[in-house]
Chain A
Amino acid sequence: MSKKTFRESINEAIKQEMRRDENVIVLGEDVAGGAGTKGDQDAWGGPMAVTKGLAPEFGRERVIDTPITESAIIGTAAGAALTGLRPIADLMFVDFMGVCFDQIFNQAGKFRYMFGGKAVTPLTIRTMYGGGLRAASQHSQCLYPIFTHIPGLKVVIPSNPYDAKGLFVQAVRDDDPVVFFEHKMMYDDEGEVPDELYTIPFGEANFTREGKDVTLISMGRTVNLCNQVADEIKKDNISCSVLDLRTLSPLDEDSILEAVDETGRVVIVDESYPRCNVATDISALISDKAFSSLKAPIKMITPPHTPVPFSPALEDLYLPSADNIKKTISNILN
């Protein structure tokens, strides 16, 4: 066990899986960087250096720099998965999914069903999401609800370095296509991460805080915001649970319902657009299956229904904040 960043934990997971299984390959734009140049042949390791060091160790046959052609990247990875490899495709920014979505949701996600259960598609797609980097409307979206919507895909969204490694290893070993969401503001977050390989099963949410007054439900980066709020409002004698969903598909419905049963008050914090997102989905689940346990209306904290703004002044207003969560908790307790 040692302290590692979110970036290091994913890098280590990929390296260790590539050493363990020669069918694991990595492909994407600049996953190594420098292809065809006279310069550094591991120039980038992806835009956030998550795959740095892979090309020197495993060679370019297994760490493949591709042209900027997202449909071909995802389709190549899907076809390779269908025929015996275990590819990790790097889609860089989730915003770019728009130009390759068919290969994910009509092809990879549906092979198994359309082919009557005969196909196995062990594909992992890594992608960055989320605001905070002043990257504006086409490089800051969350979009995980769209993938959660598609039967046949699994959606994973870790909130810390420990979970990132365990969930990533599970994603690589998983026999279904997985979209793995990494918040671009989290790569330098640190945590204790075992050096050895381990997996965290999908569909098992994690209570990061235990409390009896209110439950905060969240995913990815905003889990940390919820943890922060839970810790800060202890001084006001408010006891807050935080449930980290870890995976959106499969969804751990039992833990959600258990949490509602314990506190009767729920605030869902979701950085994605407010319509048809994870918050509305969970809210519907609770209304349907645990209505009688509720002591207050379910509250959803999300950005407004607008694209992600560029200006720091606007983006700070746009993103869910600790203050907003605290005010909401205060409202439903009174």
Chain B
Amino acid sequence: MQLNREELIKAYQGMCRIREFEDAVHEEFASGALPGFVHLYAGEEASAMGICLNLNDQDTIASTHRGHGHCIAKGCDSKGMMKELFGKKDGICGGKGGSMHIADLTKGMLGANGIVGGGPPLTCGAALTFKTKKTGNVAVCFLGDGASNQGTTAESINMASILKLPAIFVVEDNGYAEATSSDYSVGGNIVDRGKAYGLHAEKVDGTDFFAVHQAAKEAVERAKNNEGPTLLHVKLSRVYGHYEGDAITYRLDEETKDIRDNKDPIKIFKRKVTESGLLEESQLEEIEKNIKKEIEDAVSASKEAKYPVESDLLTDVYVKY
């Protein structure tokens, strides 16, 4: 563990913020307060934080339909995000995007994405910008095991490989593409797919923040040293269903219990840092308390915030038309 105290605190804050955010969304959705579709990231926090703590605001990420965690990890404002989910005017995208299209370009967050496999080609584009302008930045693409089967992913990994782009493809394999197991839907294995296209590819334990952080650190270094793109197959679990409202009948109860008891990256992180004496339990509890309050405030502020009005309907389609 080469992380300093400040970085560890940042990691824990980020993971707790994601979890609290998602738990709050889970509750608000169940109560009928939230419109639309939401896909929760709870259980996958170590991936987003482990990757994004290696990035700066000029590095970019492309995300997925399950994007809240990526957004928070990349520094998007949780209150602005919550307002966006409620469809409010001062949401992070003016209420025009919603859960699946949260973006904050000033933070290098190029958008959650409603299309499975939508992000990989865009990541090549951001990486091409960095390569062309010689900025030394990195473009990261989060995608799921479902998207790993999309043609766009194959095309993009090949493109990144032949153009030697500073790109990292993070395949978050939570075991299920919607209601279908990745054991069933993925032919061969994801690491081999990356290697077949000439990428450095490795499997990473997504319940272990430190493993993800280390793998990402090396991938970022490779990208910055012009050693080409990396594929990380991050194995993890989602706590909730594919979307809110999913009865998760395809997953046995004992599996869900096992995920909550044994595969929770926040619990695992907490145990590691307290047992090794890197952080005090009381410190972590203080963080938990503060984050809980932050998200509660975000929810109440979102409920009170104003909706967009009719004059907002026609704006933001074009720069000029």
Q: Does B316 lie at the interface of the complex (its beta carbon under 8 Å from any beta carbon of A)?
A: yes
Cβ contact within 8 Å between A71 and B125: no
Cβ contact within 8 Å between A107 and B118: yes
Cβ contact within 8 Å between A67 and B93: no
Cβ contact within 8 Å between A82 and B158: no
Report the minimal beta-carbon distance from A163 to chain B, rounded to whole angstroms. Answer: 19
Binds A, one of B149-157, B239-247, B257-265: B149-157
Chain A residue with Cβ nearest B150: A71
Q: Does B19 lie at the interface of the complex (its beta carbon under 8 Å from any beta carbon of A)?
A: no
Cβ contact within 8 Å between A112 and B317: yes
Cβ contact within 8 Å between A79 and B123: yes
Chain B residue with Cβ nearest A70: B155
Report the minimal beta-carbon distance from A283 to chain B, rounded to whole angstroms. Answer: 22
A115 and B124 alpha carbons, distance in the complex (Å): 20
Cβ contact within 8 Å between A117 and B94: yes
Binds B, one of A37-45, A58-66, A191-199, A222-230: A58-66
**Contact digits for B149-188, partner A, Cβ 8 Å, 1 yes 0 no:** 0011001101100110000000000000000000000000
**Contact digits for A95-116, partner B, Cβ 8 Å, 1 yes 0 no:** 0000100110011001111111
Contact of A176 among B152, B155, B163, B320 (CB under 8 A): B320
Cβ contact within 8 Å between B162 and A83: no
A180 and B105 alpha carbons, distance in the complex (Å): 27
Contact of B121 among A78, A83, A110 (CB under 8 A): A78
Q: Does A85 lie at the interface of the complex (its beta carbon under 8 Å from any beta carbon of B)?
A: yes
Q: Does A154 lie at the interface of the complex (its beta carbon under 8 Å from any beta carbon of B)?
A: yes
Q: Does A69 lie at the interface of the complex (its beta carbon under 8 Å from any beta carbon of B)?
A: yes
Cβ contact within 8 Å between B120 and A75: yes
Report the minimal beta-carbon distance from A80 to chain B, rounded to whole angstroms. Answer: 4
Report the minimal beta-carbon distance from A210 to chain B, rounded to whole angstroms. Answer: 28
Chain A residue with Cβ nearest B104: A118
Report the minimal beta-carbon distance from A60 to chain B, rounded to whole angstroms. Answer: 10
Cβ contact within 8 Å between B132 and A85: yes
A175 and B316 alpha carbons, distance in the complex (Å): 12
Q: Does B126 lie at the interface of the complex (its beta carbon under 8 Å from any beta carbon of A)?
A: yes
Chain B residues contacting A74 (CB-CB under 8 Å) are 121
Chain B residue with Cβ nearest A123: B125
Chain A residue with Cβ nearest B62: A79
Cβ contact within 8 Å between B132 and A117: no
Cβ contact within 8 Å between A102 and B318: no
Chain B residues contacting A154 (CB-CB under 8 Å) are 318, 321
Cβ contact within 8 Å between A113 and B122: no
A112 and B317 alpha carbons, distance in the complex (Å): 6
**Interface residue count for B (Cβ, 8 Å)?**
48
**Contact digits for A74-96, partner B, Cβ 8 Å, 1 yes 0 no:** 11111111111101000000000
Also in contact, A111 and B111, with CB within 8 A (given A79-B123, A79-B124, A106-B118): yes
**Interface residue count for A (Cβ, 8 Å)?**
46
Q: Does B129 lie at the interface of the complex (its beta carbon under 8 Å from any beta carbon of A)?
A: yes
Chain A residues contacting B121 (CB-CB under 8 Å) are 71-72, 74-76, 78-79, 103, 107
Cβ contact within 8 Å between B111 and A62: no
**Contact digits for B299-321, partner A, Cβ 8 Å, 1 yes 0 no:** 00000000000000001111111
Also in contact, A72 and B103, with CB within 8 A (given A106-B114, A116-B93): no
Cβ contact within 8 Å between B319 and A75: no
Report the minimal beta-carbon distance from A111 to chain B, rounded to whole angstroms. Answer: 7
Report the minimal beta-carbon distance from B171 to chain A, rounded to whole angstroms. Answer: 17
Cβ contact within 8 Å between A67 and B158: yes
Chain A residues contacting B133 (CB-CB under 8 Å) are 84-85
Chain A residues contacting B126 (CB-CB under 8 Å) are 79-80, 82-83
Chain B residues contacting A102 (CB-CB under 8 Å) are 115, 118, 152
Question: Considering the complex, which residues of chain B in the window 97-116 have a beta carbon less than 8 Å from any beta carbon of chain A?
Answer: 97, 101, 103-105, 110-111, 113-115
Also in contact, A112 and B124, with CB within 8 A (given A76-B159, A85-B132, A118-B103): no
Report the minimal beta-carbon distance from A65 to chain B, rounded to whole angstroms. Answer: 10
Chain B residue with Cβ nearest A82: B110
**Contact digits for A142-163, partner B, Cβ 8 Å, 1 yes 0 no:** 0000000001101000000000
A112 and B315 alpha carbons, distance in the complex (Å): 10
Chain A residues contacting B128 (CB-CB under 8 Å) are 25, 64, 76, 79-80, 85
Q: Which residues of B contact A (CB under 8 A)?
A: 60, 62, 91-97, 101, 103-105, 110-111, 113-115, 118, 120-130, 132-133, 139, 151-152, 155-156, 158-159, 162-163, 315-321
Known: A61-B132, A67-B159, A116-B97. 6 other contacts (CB 8 A): A72-B155, A82-B105, A84-B129, A111-B103, A116-B92, A152-B318
Q: Which residues of A contact B (CB under 8 A)?
A: 25, 61-62, 64, 66-67, 69, 71-72, 74-85, 87, 99, 102-103, 106-107, 110-120, 151-152, 154, 174-176, 203, 250
A/B interface sample: 23 pairs, CB < 8 A: A25-B128, A67-B162, A69-B158, A71-B155, A71-B156, A72-B156, A72-B158, A76-B128, A78-B121, A79-B110, A80-B128, A83-B126, A85-B129, A85-B132, A99-B151, A106-B114, A107-B122, A110-B101, A114-B101, A116-B316, A117-B96, A152-B317, A174-B320
- Nearest 10 pairs of A and B residues by beta carbon: A75-B121, A79-B125, A116-B94, A117-B316, A79-B122, A116-B93, A72-B155, A69-B155, A114-B101, A80-B125
